[in-house]
Amino acid sequence: MDETYYISAETLTLERITQSLQEGSQLALSQESRQRIQHCRDYLTDKLAHSDELFYGINTGFGSLCNIQISKEETEALQYKL
């Protein structure tokens, strides 16, 4: 079977993932999910551009480095690597 299962706001269960793998169907983001992700991305980009606020793992280090702010230049590189 060569179908696509679109991941949406509905709960994605382990059973559904297993079923998709067994059927050989593709998993893809729904258009609504893509829009929601883009909305969150735009929100964070705006907050980072206009605030010195710390956002764990986005513009800070991880673990014991959680209070260390990463420069704006390094933030983009960090997110790309993740």
Q: What domain count does the chain have?
A: 2
Q: What is the pLDDT of residue 2?
A: 66
E strand intervals along the chain: 4-7, 26-29
Same domain (yes/no): 41, 2: yes
Indicate whether 45 and 7 sit together in one domain. Answer: yes
What burial letters (b/e) apply to 38-67, b meaning 16+ CB within 10 Å? Answer: eeeeeeeeeebeeeeeeeeeebbeeeeeee
Range of the domain at 81: 53-82
In a shared domain, residues 5 and 28: yes
- The whole-model pTM stands at 0.71
Query: What pLDDT, in 10s, does the model give residues 11-62?
Result: 889 998 899 889 999 889 999 999 999 999 999 989 988 988 999 989 999 9
Residues 34 and 73 in one domain: no
Which residue, among 17, 18, 38, 39, has the nearest Cα to 28 in the 3D structure?
17
Q: Please identify which residue in the block is written with the tokens 């991941």.
A: 7
Confidence of residue 80 (pLDDT cuts 50, 70, 90): confident
